[in-house]
Amino acid sequence: MAQPARKLATYDDILRLPADARAEVIAGVLYEHARPRPRHQRVQAAFGRYVGGPFDQDDEPGGWWILVDTDVRFGPHDTVRPDVVGWRRERMPDLPESRPIEIVPDWICEIRSASTASHDVLRKRPLYAQHGVGWFWAADPEARMVECFANRDGLWVTQGAAGDGEMARLPPFEAAEIDITRLFGRV
């Protein structure tokens, strides 16, 4: 006897969870994650400050919206919550009032943690490439480094990397030099 068809999860399934739940839907499957630990949150905040700071200014033409922990929907069965995400203001002139945001981001940064590393690499990164996210950064707090990738026809191509103690200009934010040590905190 055939199995009944599985109901594909949507953003509504996320909304039915407790308010403090951290969840995503990828390919119609609901994934729940533990809340980020303080160190992870601190790195997220640093990316918001040191990457977002030079680019996410209200009075800067051609700037960016840089957000932390924001729901982004790529389709009815694909809603994720990147650690840090950005849109060029020329593509998204106004910051949406509601979530999830349904405009494909220009840049996403995922911060590696033991509990989500395989999920980020095996599920989320291919989803980002498939939907045309232009840039992907992988930040590793343990190794204290950032890798930068460009989307070339749905494939991630390495564009650079920088580690602790380095000043870096990584695309798409090469206009400003970033102190990699500040992203991960002083040792």
Exposed / middle / buried, residue 111 (Cβ in 10 Å: 0-12, 13-18, 19+): buried
Q: Note the pLDDT of residue 55.
A: 78
Domains assigned to the chain: 36-184 (3.90.1570.10)
- Residue 88, classed as helix, strand or coil, is strand
pLDDT beneath 70: ranges in the chain: 1-5, 57-62, 187
pTM: 0.92
In this structure, what token pair is assigned to residue 119? Answer: 């999920």
Chain segment 88-106, per-residue pLDDT in tens: 999 999 999 999 999 999 9
